[in-house]
């Protein structure tokens, strides 16, 4: 195995710095947003922590209005720079964790915490790679810039702002996925499907339905509140059905009705089949309840149209290509309020060749036929970089030299990374091929040695790309 840059990573120092970063609850808090902290106090604190490390170790740093920041090394007057794009915001730590999700816990060489692999661990690995490159004293002609984003999990407004304020990089990579390298990422359609509130009589009413915290997560819990003269009868039926299916649930009497809560299993929204959507579990056992007509439409949309159809066939939007495979649909957010109506927010990952406009039109037509409407709809183009691009081939070679593997197969992904915001860039690690990716899941974890190996790989990648010609 070959290495140009001698890694100077001290394991204890690495874990101490990473532990302090993981301890910050850096989930987006729109209600607490303000000038200088556009995504709330947590993401800003995590950004400032990284910039503090950069200043401590003698790098150039800059805070870009709280949206993002960077840590930079290399000749200050260099015309071009290489971007390494990490993020320090995290999704909520829902579900029951064995250990505190915001306190780094290492057991048998495995690190457990929210952000361990998505993306605080890999971002710290990239930072320590930059330290190793600096310590080596080897020359680079391009600047190497570790860009720290703070809104990757909720729309990437941080990178939109970054690109408004800073010039485009020569090439770059996001340490926010899997090795060996991802050269193509699916496009996205984010759609909110709406149902207006209506006053209708029925023996049972759906007073509320709630599931999900982020559109790009499979919801691991859901609850519904039932009211009306027959609510207890139908709640008993739902309870019996849940027992038969061995689904965890709880029932609570409230002033406004009977609350039924069920548990599912979280997963990344790009792989919805890998989780158990709690909204679907709940809707299934409520599908026969004699709700009002509009409430039936809402429940049926979950239980009959979306349930177990991750390819979007019932919505008439299924698509497949030879580069990135099947279209996927995740119902990440479900909301219903008797006074306000309901909504279901879909995270649709579309293959590289998928016609986004045509799929959007088909989706609109399908939901309207069901008595629903499109409240919001946005699209993001896919990422595709020619596998023969010089930057891609450099990263491939560096990975092969460090692992001893030969002619590795490059990957495509349903997940989206900051690489989509580069003119030329890819996702590069940090999850190793022989280890499950646990981002967005309960008890998120990564092997510590994998992060250290990733750091060594990134150091050589930075050096090679730092001498990349235009």
Catalytic residues: 89, 152
Q: SS3 of 412, please?
A: strand
Residue 259, C-beta contacts closer than 8 angstroms, at least 6 positions apart: 223, 224, 225, 251, 252, 253
Q: Kind of pairing, strands 182-185 and 411-413?
A: parallel
Strands (E), 314-464: 320-321, 325-326, 328-337, 341-350, 373-380, 383-384, 411-413, 425-427, 430-431, 445-447
Which backbone phi and psi does 122 adopt, to 5 degrees? -65, -35
DSSP state of 208: E
- Distance in angstroms (rounded) separating the CA atoms of residues 179 and 428: 6
- Distance in angstroms (rounded) separating the CA atoms of residues 156 and 160: 7
Q: SS3 of 351, please?
A: coil
Q: SS3 of 238, please?
A: helix
First CA to last CA distance, the chain: 29
- Distance in angstroms (rounded) separating the CA atoms of residues 145 and 168: 11
Are residues 270 and 414 in contact, defined by beta-carbon separation less than 8 angstroms? yes
Which two three-digit tokens encode residue 174?
């996001």
- In the chain, % helix, strand, coil (3-state, to 5) comes to 30, 25, 40
Tokens 């299934």 found at: 284
CA–centroid distance for 406 within its chain: 30
Are residues 440 and 213 in contact, defined by beta-carbon separation less than 8 angstroms? no
Q: Could you tell me which of 454, 448, 403 has the C-alpha nearest to residue 428?
A: 454
């Amino acid at each position: 195995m070959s290495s140009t840059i001698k890694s100077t990573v001290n394991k204890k120092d690495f874990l101490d710095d990473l532990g302090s970063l993981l301890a910050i609850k850096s989930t987006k808090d729109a209600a607490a947003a303000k000038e200088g902290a556009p995504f709330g106090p947590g993401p800003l604190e995590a950004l400032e922590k990284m910039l503090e490390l950069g200043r401590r170790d003698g790098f150039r740093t800059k805070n870009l209005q709280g949206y993002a920041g960077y840590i930079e090394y290399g000749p200050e007057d260099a015309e071009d720079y290489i971007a390494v794009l990490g993020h320090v915001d995290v999704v909520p730590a829902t579900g029951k964790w064995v250990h505190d999700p915001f306190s780094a816990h290492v057991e048998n060489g495995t690190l457990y915490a929210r952000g361990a692999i998505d993306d605080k661990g890999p971002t710290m690995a990239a930072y320590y790679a930059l330290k190793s490159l600096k310590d080596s004293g080897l020359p680079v002609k391009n600047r190497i810039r570790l860009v720290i984003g703070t809104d990757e999990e909720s729309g990437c407004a941080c990178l939109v702002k970054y690109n408004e304020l800073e010039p485009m990089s020569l090439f770059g990579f996001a340490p926010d996925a899997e090795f060996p390298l991802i050269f193509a990422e699916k496009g996205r359609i984010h759609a909110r499907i709406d149902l207006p509130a209506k006053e209708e009589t029925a023996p049972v009413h759906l007073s509320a339905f709630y599931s999900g915290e982020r559109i790009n997560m499979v919801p691991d819990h859901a609850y519904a509140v039932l009211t009306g003269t027959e609510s207890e009868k139908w709640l008993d039926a739902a309870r019996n059905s849940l027992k038969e299916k061995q689904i965890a649930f709880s029932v609570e009497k409230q002033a406004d009705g009977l609350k039924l809560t069920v548990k599912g299993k979280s997963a990344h929204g790009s792989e919805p089949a890998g989780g158990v959507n709690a909204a679907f579990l709940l809707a299934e056992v409520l599908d026969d309840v004699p709700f009002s007509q509009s409430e039936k439409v809402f429940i049926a949309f979950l239980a009959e149209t979306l349930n177990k159809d991750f390819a979007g066939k019932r919505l008439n939007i299924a698509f497949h290509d030879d580069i990135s495979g099947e279209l996927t649909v995740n119902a990440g957010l479900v909301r219903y309020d008797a006074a306000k109506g309901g909504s279901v927010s879909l995270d649709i990952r579309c293959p590289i060749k998928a016609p986004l406009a045509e799929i959007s039109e088909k989706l609109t037509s399908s939901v309207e036929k069901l008595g629903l409407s499109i409240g919001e709809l946005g699209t993001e183009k896919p990422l595709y970089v020619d596998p023969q691009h010089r930057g891609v081939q450099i990263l491939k070679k560096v990975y092969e030299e460090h692992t001893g593997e030969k002619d590795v197969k490059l990957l495509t992904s349903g997940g989206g990374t900051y690489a989509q915001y580069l003119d030329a860039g890819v996702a590069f690690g940090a999850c190793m091929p022989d280890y499950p990716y646990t981002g967005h899941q309960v008890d998120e974890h990564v092997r510590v040695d994998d992060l250290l190996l990733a750091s060594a790989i990134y150091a050589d990648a930075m050096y090679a790309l730092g001498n990349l010609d235009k």
